[in-house]
């Protein structure tokens, strides 16, 4: 596994495999020898978690030092009798999903990182778990939704005004609807069924992030997003203040904040906040297979590997060679012929992974998060040279411009 970003050398292994506690600043790529294939990885505001192919899970916590910089600790093994299949990180909490469908939680603010099994799932099998900033959602194999954590802004969807729920609670209002996917981000949550999207939680400052057709800022119980009715969907993605849905046929729908054109709908005059999903018509002739949303930038990936970007571009995070915002999806020519297979967005930087395992990064380099041995911004996609030949299989950008992580397919 490779990592780069602010102060990323502390607590990691460099290329010769030796441990280091050096405080020397180095803004290139650092190699963490983990000896197995990576099965899953998740990055939160203050924590990173990953699972090896052998089912062992590890957590790395970051803490703010006295000078305001982030210092990263050593990786900690999560001791548990079962193999772990998946992880999801909030700001400080890590949720782990075992091979038998059990859920364990680790609060990284209180070492040692001892996993606590959630008794609410003792007789249930969970298929997916997702974390927002300070809340978590879980989907069972029979399509039932459970939530727990902070609920001050309705992010648990329970219809109550409790400040916090420390154990998973069943969301009864969706019990008759078989769900297939859940998503959580910040203080909002989404649940996806075969024919509908449900939303609950907080749309910050009433900017339309809930997609309900109003400027309502808090929704304490799941509400059906009416304008997406009868449209078969395969993905829901949430960015800083913008949200997207991707249909089975490749159609892209967007809603939320739009002051920088991050919804891709064209002129932002009179549409700085869009309260209900709108079809991104300029992508209608393009078979899209992935949408990705960052702080205020957005991306679409086509089936042929073409990359389209739009939204805020003050640091070059759109990869278009300039710093001009775009209000409609624009082809990233610099990635033509690269056959991109995945896009990941940070707050104001972006990473693209190609079919042959190469990684290109662009946008803000303020903390070295682009991996180019530099703190300079990049307006065009630039190959991370130190990863050449590594055959990277996954990239994940931290949400607050501090980290970018890449996984190498290692031979055991």
pLDDT value of residue 202: 82
What is the 3-state composition of the chain as percent helix, strand, coil, each rounded to the nearest 5? 5, 45, 50
pLDDT over threshold 60, residue 365: yes
pLDDT value of residue 69: 64
- Closest to 188 measured CA to CA, from 241, 232, 227: 241
Cβ(339)–Cβ(354) below 8 Å? yes
pLDDT over threshold 50, residue 359: yes
Query: What pLDDT digit, counting tens, does each position of 143-173 carry?
Result: 999 999 999 889 999 998 888 999 999 999 9
DSSP for residue 40:
E
pLDDT over threshold 70, residue 403: no
Contacts of 36 (CB under 8 A, 6+ apart): 52, 53, 54, 56, 410, 412
pLDDT value of residue 32: 60
Q: What is the mean pLDDT of residues 65-91?
A: 83
CATH hierarchy code of domain 240-412: 2.130.10.30
pLDDT value of residue 34: 57
Q: What is the mean pLDDT of residues 329-333?
A: 98
Query: What pLDDT digit, counting tens, does each position of 220-244 carry?
Result: 999 999 889 888 888 888 887 888 9
pLDDT over threshold 90, residue 260: yes
pLDDT over threshold 80, residue 308: yes
Query: What pLDDT digit, counting tens, does each position of 81-98 carry?
Result: 999 999 999 889 999 999
pLDDT over threshold 60, residue 14: no
Confidence band for 261, pLDDT divided at 50, 70 and 90: very high
CB under 8 Å, gap of 24 or more: what pairs does 122-129 form? Answer: 125/100, 125/101, 126/97, 126/101, 126/102, 127/101, 128/86, 128/97, 128/181, 128/182, 129/86, 129/88, 129/95, 129/96, 129/97, 129/103
Domains in the chain: boundaries:
128-230, 240-412
Q: What is the mean pLDDT of residues 276-294?
A: 95
Q: 18: buried, middle or exposed (CB in 10 Å: 19+, 13-18, 0-12)?
A: exposed
pTM above 0.85, yes or no: no
pLDDT value of residue 19: 38
Length of the chain: 412
């Amino acid at each position: 596994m490779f990592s780069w970003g602010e102060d990323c050398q502390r607590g990691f292994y460099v290329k010769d495999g030796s441990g280091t506690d050096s405080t020397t600043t180095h803004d290139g790529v650092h190699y963490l020898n983990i000896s197995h294939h990576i099965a899953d990885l998740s990055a939160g505001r203050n924590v990173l978690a990953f699972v090896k192919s052998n089912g062992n899970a590890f957590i790395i916590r970051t803490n703010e030092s006295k000078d305001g910089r982030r210092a990263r600790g050593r990786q900690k093994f999560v001791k548990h009798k079962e193999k772990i299949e998946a992880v999801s990180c909030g700001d400080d909490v890590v949720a782990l999903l075992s091979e038998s469908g059990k859920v364990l939680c680790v609060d990284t603010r209180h070492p040692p990182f001892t996993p606590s099994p959630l008794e609410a799932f003792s007789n249930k099998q969970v298929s997916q778990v997702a974390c927002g900033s300070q809340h978590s959602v879980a989907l069972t194999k029979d399509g039932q939704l459970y939530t727990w954590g902070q609920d001050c802004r309705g992010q648990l969807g329970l219809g109550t005004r409790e400040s916090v729920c420390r154990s998973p609670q069943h969301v009864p209002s969706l019990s008759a609807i078989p769900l297939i996917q859940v998503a959580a981000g910040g203080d909002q949550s989404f649940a996806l069924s075969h024919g509908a999207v449900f939303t609950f939680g907080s749309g910050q400052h009433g900017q339309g992030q809930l997609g309900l057709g109003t400027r309502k800022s808090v929704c304490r119980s799941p509400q059906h997003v009416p304008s997406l009715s009868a449209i078969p969907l395969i993905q829901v993605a949430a960015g800083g203040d913008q949200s997207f849905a991707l249909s089975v046929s490749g159609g892209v729908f967007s809603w939320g904040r739009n002051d920088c054109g991050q919804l891709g709908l064209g002129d932002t005059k009179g549409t700085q906040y869009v309260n209900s999903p709108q079809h991104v018509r300029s992508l209608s002739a393009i078979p899209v297979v992935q949408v990705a949303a960052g702080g205020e930038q957005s991306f679409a990936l086509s089936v042929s590997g073409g990359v389209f970007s739009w939204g805020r571009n003050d640091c070059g995070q759109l990869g278009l060679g300039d710093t001009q915002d775009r209000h409609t999806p624009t082809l990233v020519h610099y990635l033509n012929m690269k056959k991109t297979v995945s896009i990941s967005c940070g707050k104001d930087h972006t990473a693209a992974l190609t079919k042959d395992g190469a990684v290109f990064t662009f946008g803000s380099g303020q903390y070295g998060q682009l991996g180019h041995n530099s703190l300079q911004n990049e307006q065009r996609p630039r190959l991370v040279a130190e990863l050449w030949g590594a055959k990277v299989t996954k990239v994940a950008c931290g949400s607050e411009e501090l980290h970018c992580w890449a996984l190498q397919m290692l031979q055991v």
